[in-house]
Amino acid sequence: MRKSTTLLAGMALSALVLIGLTVTSDKSSASFTATTTNPGNQFGSATLTMSNDKSAAASLVNLSNMVPGDTANRTVTLSNTGNVGFTYTAAISATANTKLWSDTTNGIQVTVKRGSTTLYTGALKNLALAASPTVAASGTDTLTFDFSLPVGADNTFQTLTQDFTITYTATQLAGAAR
């Protein structure tokens, strides 16, 4: 009986070794973990757009039969149609070059005002406006233009037509830490 007990003990020991090897080979290293999220994050860029109430061709000024000494007063309202504040500048360009444009003394003259503040006065061809104050989103800015044909314009100014375009260029305000 001793042999059978020894055999049984040997078999039991062998079984335990095999079970131990099996458990060891399946065993993995375990550790605790945790997670958290920041869902729904988003960046959106601003929209910079502007318009004016005289944007159709010749809607700011369209005069004919001017004589020396004539004047014309016109206004334009610029609107911030975007969602970010801006400043703007203005510059002029011509599609033709008549004496009404090129003669800076007797050609068309203009004074531009914002309220009672004069922004520019001089020859139409040299019109340039420095950066405006801030125009907030949904805000407006109104400019008044006083055009004139000087009394010094002589017979060489007869039958002339001068086309021009005023271009307003908006620039976003500087970015900020948020």
For residues 100 and 81, give the distance between their C-alpha atoms in angstroms, rounded to a whole number: 34
End-to-end Cα separation, the chain, in angstroms: 88
| Domain range list for the chain | 50-56+69-172
pLDDT in tens, the chain (178 residues): 556 666 666 666 666 555 655 555 556 678 999 999 999 999 999 999 999 999 888 789 999 999 999 999 999 999 999 999 999 999 999 988 999 999 999 999 999 999 999 999 999 999 999 999 999 999 999 999 999 999 999 999 999 999 999 999 999 999 888 8
Q: In whole angstroms, what is the distance from residue 107 CA to residue 94 CA?
A: 13
> What is the second-level CATH architecture of the domain 50-56+69-172?
Sandwich (2.60)
The pair of three-digit structure tokens given for residue 169, joined into one six-digit string: 């260029």
The region that residue 60 occupies, defined by phi over 0 for left and psi between -120 and 50 for alpha, beta otherwise, is: alpha
Beta bridge partners of 120: 112
Instruction: Say whether 27 sits in a helix, a strand or coil.
Output: coil
Distance in angstroms (rounded) separating the CA atoms of residues 148 and 70: 6
The phi and psi torsions of 24 (rounded to 5 degrees) equal -65, -40
DSSP labels, 50-63 = EEETT-STT-S---
The pTM score is 0.78
